[in-house]
Structure 1
Amino acid sequence: MNANSLRRTSKVTRTLSAAAVMAATMAAVGSLSGCAAVSPDGGVASLSSLTQARLGRPVAAQRTDADRARAAEQVQAWLAEPLTADRCVDIALLNHPGLQSTLAALGVAEADRAQAARLANPTLGFGRIRGGGHTELDRSLTVSVLGLLALPAARDLGQSRFDEARLQAAQAVVQQATEARLAFHEAVAAQELLGYHQQVQTAADAASELARRMQEAGNFSRLAQWREQAFQSDARANLARARHQATATRERLARALGLAGDPARMTLPERLQPLPEAPAEPAAALRAALETRLDVQLARQQAQTAARALSWTRASRFVNVLELGTLQKNQTGDARQRGFDVSLELPLFDPGDARLARAEAEYQRALHQTAAAAAQAESDMREAHSAYQAAYAVAQHQWHEAVPLRKRISDEQLLRYNGMLISVFDLLADARDQIGTVTTAVQALRDYWLADAQLQAVAAGAPYRGAPVDAPTRPAAANTARH
Structure 2
Amino acid sequence: MAALRSRLLRSVAVVALTGSLGACASFTRDGGMSPVTSRVSLELGATTAKIVTPADAAAVRSRVDRLLARPLTADAAVQIALLNNRGLQVEYNALGVSEAEYVAASLPPSPTVSIERVAASGDLDVERRLIADLLQLLTLPRRSKIAETEFRAAQHKAVAATFRTAAEARRAFYRAVAGRETAAFLETARASAGAAAELTKKLGETGAATKLNQARSSALYAEVATELAEARLDAAKEREALTRQLGLWGRDLDYKLPGRLPSFPRLESRGDVEATALRRRVDIIGDRLELDALAQRYGLTEQTRAISMLEITGLANHSRSAEGEKANPKGFEVAVQIPIFDFGKASSTKARETYMGAVNRLLEKAVNARSEAREAYATYRGRHEIARAYQSRVLPLRKIITEETQLQYNGMLVDPFELLTNARETVAANVAAIRAKRDFFIADVDFQAALIGGGAADGPAASAPKLASATSASAASPQ
TM over 0.5: yes
Tell me the secondary structure at the aligned position of residue 17 of structure 1. helix
Residues 216, 417 of structure 2: 8 Å contact kept: no
Whole-Å separation in 2 of the counterparts to 1:309 and 1:120? 18
Asked if 1:156 corresponds to 2:145, the answer is: yes
Deviation at 1:423, TM superposition (A): 7.2
Whole-Å separation in 1 of the counterparts to 2:184 and 2:417? 22
Which of residues 287, 295, 303 in structure 1 aligns to 2:275? 287
Question: What runs of 5+ residues in structure 1 fail to find an aligned partner?
Answer: 1-13, 466-483
**Equivalent position of 2:33 in the other structure:** 44
Tell me the secondary structure at the aligned position of residue 326 of structure 1. strand
Q: Which moved more, 1:344-353 or 1:58-67?
A: 344-353
Residues 293, 459 of structure 1: 8 Å contact kept: yes
**Amino acid paired to 2:268:** A
The verdict on how the C-alpha distance between 1:319 and 1:263 changes in structure 2, with shifts beyond 3 A counting, is same
**Equivalent position of 2:398 in the other structure:** 406
Tell me the secondary structure at the aligned position of residue 236 of structure 2. helix
Question: CA deviation digits over 1:415-464, x for unaligned, max 9?
Answer: 55666666788667655544443332222111111111111111112336
Q: Which moved more, 1:164-173 or 1:260-269?
A: 260-269
**Equivalent position of 1:370 in the other structure:** 362
Please show how residues 89-168 of structure 1 align to structure 2 within 5 Å: 89-168=78-157
The verdict on how the C-alpha distance between 1:199 and 1:424 changes in structure 2, with shifts beyond 3 A counting, is farther
Question: CA deviation digits over 1:334-373, x for unaligned, max 9?
Answer: 4532221212124246743332222111111011011100
Residues 380, 463 of structure 1: 8 Å contact kept: no
Residues 216, 420 of structure 2: 8 Å contact kept: no
Question: CA deviation digits over 1:11-55, x for unaligned, max 9?
Answer: xxx98832112211331233113xx21223222223223333432
Tell me the secondary structure at the aligned position of residue 379 of structure 1. helix
Whole-Å separation in 2 of the counterparts to 1:215 and 1:117? 89
**Equivalent position of 1:468 in the other structure:** none
Please show how residues 2-401 of structure 1 align to structure 2 within 5 Å: 17-33=8-24, 36-261=25-250, 264-276=253-265, 278-284=266-272, 287-332=275-320, 333-334=325-326, 336-348=328-340, 351-401=343-393
**Amino acid paired to 1:440:** A
Whole-Å separation in 2 of the counterparts to 1:464 and 1:98? 15
Residues 203, 432 of structure 1: 8 Å contact kept: no
Whole-Å separation in 1 of the counterparts to 2:214 and 2:7? 106
Deviation at 1:235, TM superposition (A): 1.1
Whole-Å separation in 2 of the counterparts to 1:220 and 1:263? 52
Residues 117, 125 of structure 2: 8 Å contact kept: yes
Whole-Å separation in 1 of the counterparts to 2:134 and 2:38? 38
Tell me the secondary structure at the aligned position of residue 30 of structure 2. coil
Question: CA deviation digits over 1:78-107, x for unaligned, max 9?
Answer: 111111111111111110011111111111
The verdict on how the C-alpha distance between 1:65 and 1:460 changes in structure 2, with shifts beyond 3 A counting, is same
Deviation at 1:124, TM superposition (A): 2.1
The verdict on how the C-alpha distance between 1:358 and 1:187 changes in structure 2, with shifts beyond 3 A counting, is same
Residues 409, 415 of structure 2: 8 Å contact kept: yes
Q: Which moved more, 1:384-393 or 1:73-82?
A: 73-82
Residues 303, 363 of structure 1: 8 Å contact kept: yes
Residues 275, 395 of structure 1: 8 Å contact kept: no
**Equivalent position of 1:11 in the other structure:** none
Residues 207, 425 of structure 1: 8 Å contact kept: no
Residues 274, 369 of structure 2: 8 Å contact kept: no
Could you tell me the TM-score, scaled by structure 2's length? 0.87
Q: Which moved more, 1:379-388 or 1:430-439?
A: 430-439
**Amino acid paired to 1:361:** E
Whole-Å separation in 1 of the counterparts to 2:61 and 2:416? 55
Whole-Å separation in 2 of the counterparts to 1:354 and 1:178? 44
- Counting matched residue pairs gives 449
The verdict on how the C-alpha distance between 1:137 and 1:98 changes in structure 2, with shifts beyond 3 A counting, is same
The verdict on how the C-alpha distance between 1:247 and 1:262 changes in structure 2, with shifts beyond 3 A counting, is farther
Whole-Å separation in 2 of the counterparts to 1:16 and 1:393? 81
Please show how residues 431-470 of structure 1 align to structure 2 within 5 Å: 433-463=425-455
Could you tell me the TM-score, scaled by structure 1's length? 0.86
Whole-Å separation in 2 of the counterparts to 1:310 and 1:397? 57
Over the residues paired in the alignment, what is the CA RMSD in angstroms? 2.4
Q: Which moved more, 1:355-364 or 1:383-392?
A: 355-364
**Equivalent position of 2:468 in the other structure:** none
Deviation at 1:132, TM superposition (A): 4.3
Tell me the secondary structure at the aligned position of residue 258 of structure 2. coil
**Amino acid paired to 2:435:** Q
Whole-Å separation in 1 of the counterparts to 2:287 and 2:311? 36
Residues 17, 108 of structure 2: 8 Å contact kept: no
Q: Which moved more, 1:286-295 or 1:392-401?
A: 286-295
Residues 116, 155 of structure 1: 8 Å contact kept: yes
Whole-Å separation in 1 of the counterparts to 2:372 and 2:252? 33
Q: Which moved more, 1:398-407 or 1:238-247?
A: 398-407
Whole-Å separation in 1 of the counterparts to 2:290 and 2:302? 18
Q: Which moved more, 1:188-197 or 1:438-447?
A: 438-447
Q: Which moved more, 1:431-440 or 1:69-78?
A: 431-440
